[in-house]
Structure 1
Amino acid sequence: MIRKLFFALLALAIVVLVGLGIVVATHKTRPAPIASAAQDDTAKLIERGAYLSRAGDCVACHSVPGKPDYAGGLAIKSGLGTIYSTNITPDKTHGIGNYTEAQFADALRNGVRADGANLYPAMPYPDFVKISDEDVHALYTYFMQGVAPSDYAPPQTALTFPFGVRPGLKVWNALFTTDAGFTAPAGASEQIARGAYLTESLGHCSSCHTPRGLSMNEQALDSGDAKFLTGGELNGWPVPALRGMAHWSQQDITDYLSGGRNSTAAVGGEMTAVVANSTSHMTDADLQAIAAYLKSLPGAAAPTAKLDPAASQQTIARLTAAKDLSTGERLYLDNCGACHFVSGQGAARVFPHVDGASVVNAKRPDGLLHVILAGAATPSTAKAPSVLPMPGFASRLDDAEVAELATYVRQAWSNQAPAVSAKDAARVRASLHK
């Protein structure tokens, strides 16, 4: 998954702590496992490493169209400048072909390159530190022997001072990361323990679904902290809480991760790439394990409306009668009703609900406005090969109309979200062209 979060106040930690001359010890690197080649079934290791790289969504961040997979060059925009992903093919000049397994493990788990320089935390090493020795070994084998080397030299990241001072990242790492490996939740079943491992390490779900601190650090790194996976925001999109997920069954979660849709929802925003590149390639057993783990967590408040049948019936009656319509009602019937219907319930596994949907009821309307303006499309996956597109209405509706439509959807049926202004619509429209 493309992780565009970065560290808006990283400068504060760098300048203050480094300026004060505070010396912070770097993390101790766990030694990479030493395995005898005679004991390894290399083909199986490569196959396993390829699977694990999908679980970690490595291809999404380290690939760009027109270049070989893993050759890097993806531009990750942040408020501090543009960060370019690196070449992680086994090329010895531009990639990681000269990395030992210990150096590979250090980069993966601690964000330290072979030359000792620190990686920017756009690389989710605060979560990858929990990857097991066995999985590190399989990943190393895959990247060194199962990936074709590419001599592509990605653009170099050159952030302005003080963000470009990589040694300052040692301070950030000491403050906000840990050396601890994975520990299963107490009393967890084998399935839930597996789901916890995938979620907390390779899946790095916390990097988007856990709130960020003032220095843009994840406020929790495992389920032992009540803030873990309680949701937040990503590039203006609401990021839902994953704890308990009372509104979805375990099968709903599995369906969503495998095919980008379930009986009530369809994937959108950054999660579209996660499903396309990562979770749709995982086994049903692993997806069921992730779902079981999420369902096992004590619940957190989610940005969804409590369904109100009486309020929903009032909306349905007005839309069905189609008399003396408000501007919002007219815009909904003209642009949305054919797919989402007067009920706001859509069609199972085809058109998502808008009554009670988290993206509709989010405090900030940016995600909903983005979908109205730019549209959306489900990815084509093995279990759901058909692409189901929603058209964007940026060329059809002006900012005032987009705001009227969004406000109506956010306050119709059971929804009770704040109104949207034309300025909100204009801001999101402008972001589409950046």
Structure 2
Amino acid sequence: MIISGVILIITGAVVATGGGAVLTHFRAENDVTFTDIHNAELIKRGEYIARASDCVACHTPPGEAPYSGGLAMQSPVGTIYSTNITPDKHHGIGDYSYADFRNAVKLGIRKDGTPLYPAMPFPSYQIIPDKDIEAMYAYFMTSVPASDKVIPPPAIPWPLNMRWPMAWWQFFFSRERAFVPPQNASDQLSRGAYLVEGPEHCGACHTPRNIFFQEKAMSMSGDNSYLSGAVMEGWYAKSLRGDDTGLGKWSQAETEDFLKTGRTANSAAYGMMAPIIEHSTRFLSDEDIRSMAVYLKSLPPVAGIPVKKQKADKTTTLLDNGSYLSDRGAVIYKEYCSVCHRSNGKGVERIFPALNGNTSVITRDPSSVIQITLTGGKMPENDKDPMTFAMPGFSRLSDEDVASVTTFIRQGWGNDAQAVSPEDVAKMREIILSKDADIKTDAQGDRP
């Protein structure tokens, strides 16, 4: 009986593995051709689309050659390293035909037929039309300097590192599809919806995922949770919907300003959003920025999230008159935070973001507030503001002190958010430490 059971398991694994290979073979489209990669206008358009698709932010570690890969990304099963997508023939994509390139970008299938992990946002890229994929191919093959950088393999333990289950994942959760404009939408709103759903793949971070790590919805025509906020690598990507902790209190102009510069009068991009601004959205045309803002501002609040009004509060008076000594969080804020963010919590316009009423501060999930307190952050560069500013990290504070000060910030000045516990801080420290794991460089990387 035991031997029969083992044989049955092995047979099932072989069938599943073979089935996965068959799936990728039939999903891949190898008969598409494209040869005009030296057309100057096409190359220029390809560069713009690559920017709009935010390729550089994930495929370029700080200080390294553009698109050379190697940026570590945390996933529920382990660490994945972004691929080298320069035209190097041995370590990049220099030997990719147009069909190979299209299969990787839109279908998540490498040249050798191996399925890619969904850290590559191919489920979003599926709605990019082939003419734009052709333009990207021309740009990458002719205008990106080749790099021979070798990428380490994913740091994922066996048996989770086997690739054949990804073929089945793609079959069930990532079928090729076309863009469907919102009903009765103007051309401008449709353009914004396309950019948000497709190239910019906003849902990859801002939409929660199911147990199998697929996005719960790819557009507003799906689940109500689309763009409702989600945790990614210890950062809470806030809701982009019309609720109070999303974009409900932002004006159209503020939304455009943030997408173009990473700043508004009261807020600033940080964490995983900062490189997106710096390497992608700041390069979009004013028309495309406006279209994205129009679409985002059209989204309704998330059903079931109550609207809250900011309460009147005496936090500023408490900090100014010295009557805060009995509140440990207030003491820490006064010592470490008030010089920049001020006792009124309003910071300095476009320099130090406000904490008073900041929607990123009062989100239901405190992950981002905790992480930026521990690690600090840096504003993205842009073409409007002459200087960038950085916040130091305060990891030297105890878990209790970080919990106290973040709770004070989330509940001061009329903010109305849940308290942070020392256990929340301890969990975040573990996440941060996992990001700093050693990177192996002596093995063949995960090529696209």
TM-score class, shorter-chain normalisation, is 0.7 to 0.9
Shift, 1:215, TM fit = 0.8
Please tell me the residue identity of whatever aligns with 1:315. T
203-212 vs 20-29, which deviates more?
A: 20-29
> C-alpha offsets along residues 13-45 of structure 1, whole Å, 9 cap, x if unaligned?
xx99965956575574568875674xx871121
The answer for unaligned runs of 5 or more in structure 2 is 1-8, 437-448
Q: Is the 8 A contact 2:38 2:142 kept in 1?
A: no
Residue number among 283, 286, 305 corresponding to 2:288 in the alignment: 286
Q: Is the 8 A contact 1:130 1:182 kept in 2?
A: yes
Please tell me the residue identity of whatever aligns with 1:99. Y
Residue in 2 that maps onto 1:367: 368
Please tell me the residue identity of whatever aligns with 1:221. M
Residue number among 292, 299, 302 corresponding to 1:300 in the alignment: 302
Hey, what's the Cα distance between the residues in 2 that align with 1:247 and 1:73?
Answer: 38
> Secondary structure of the residue that 1:82 maps to in structure 2?
strand
148-157 vs 167-176, which deviates more?
A: 148-157
The 1:83–1:429 alpha-carbon spacing in structure 2 relative to 1, beyond 3 Å, is closer
Residue in 2 that maps onto 1:357: 358
The 1:18–1:362 alpha-carbon spacing in structure 2 relative to 1, beyond 3 Å, is farther
Residue number among 100, 119, 132 corresponding to 1:103 in the alignment: 100
Q: Is the 8 A contact 1:49 1:141 kept in 2?
A: yes
Hey, what's the Cα distance between the residues in 1 that align with 2:402 and 2:430?
Answer: 13
Hey, what's the Cα distance between the residues in 2 that align with 1:121 and 1:17?
Answer: 27
Shift, 1:299, TM fit = 2.2
Q: How many pairs are equivalent? A: 415
Please tell me the residue identity of whatever aligns with 1:62. H
1:330 lines up with 2:327 in the alignment: no
The 1:233–1:81 alpha-carbon spacing in structure 2 relative to 1, beyond 3 Å, is closer
Taking the TM superposition and a 5 Å limit, the aligned residue runs for 1:176-215 are 176-215=173-212
Hey, what's the Cα distance between the residues in 2 that align with 1:302 and 1:269?
Answer: 28
Shift, 1:307, TM fit = 3.8
Q: CA RMSD in A?
A: 2.7
Taking the TM superposition and a 5 Å limit, the aligned residue runs for 1:8-407 are 19=13, 25-26=23-24, 28-29=27-28, 37=36, 42-65=39-62, 67-157=64-154, 159-225=156-222, 226-244=224-242, 245-300=247-302, 306-309=308-311, 311-312=312-313, 314-323=314-323, 325=325, 326-395=327-396, 397-407=397-407
> C-alpha offsets along residues 261-313 of structure 1, whole Å, 9 cap, x if unaligned?
1022111111111111111122221111111111112222698983435x23x
Q: Is the 8 A contact 2:234 2:431 kept in 1?
A: no
> C-alpha offsets along residues 325-344 of structure 1, whole Å, 9 cap, x if unaligned?
32222222222222222322
The 1:263–1:90 alpha-carbon spacing in structure 2 relative to 1, beyond 3 Å, is same
The 1:19–1:35 alpha-carbon spacing in structure 2 relative to 1, beyond 3 Å, is closer
The answer for unaligned runs of 5 or more in structure 1 is 1-14
> Secondary structure of the residue that 1:413 maps to in structure 2?
helix
TM (norm. structure 1) is 0.87
Hey, what's the Cα distance between the residues in 1 that align with 2:148 and 2:275?
Answer: 26
> Secondary structure of the residue that 1:53 maps to in structure 2?
helix
Residue in 1 that maps onto 2:422: 422
Shift, 1:124, TM fit = 0.7
Q: Is the 8 A contact 2:28 2:109 kept in 1?
A: no
Hey, what's the Cα distance between the residues in 2 that align with 1:96 and 1:62?
Answer: 13
The 1:67–1:334 alpha-carbon spacing in structure 2 relative to 1, beyond 3 Å, is closer
TM (norm. structure 2) is 0.85
Q: Is the 8 A contact 2:127 2:179 kept in 1?
A: yes
Q: Is the 8 A contact 1:250 1:292 kept in 2?
A: yes
Q: Is the 8 A contact 2:96 2:111 kept in 1?
A: yes
Hey, what's the Cα distance between the residues in 2 that align with 1:217 and 1:120?
Answer: 11
Q: Is the 8 A contact 1:18 1:168 kept in 2?
A: no
Hey, what's the Cα distance between the residues in 2 that align with 1:266 and 1:368?
Answer: 13
Q: Is the 8 A contact 2:234 2:371 kept in 1?
A: no
> Secondary structure of the residue that 1:342 maps to in structure 2?
coil
Hey, what's the Cα distance between the residues in 1 that align with 2:355 and 2:307?
Answer: 10
The 1:377–1:324 alpha-carbon spacing in structure 2 relative to 1, beyond 3 Å, is closer
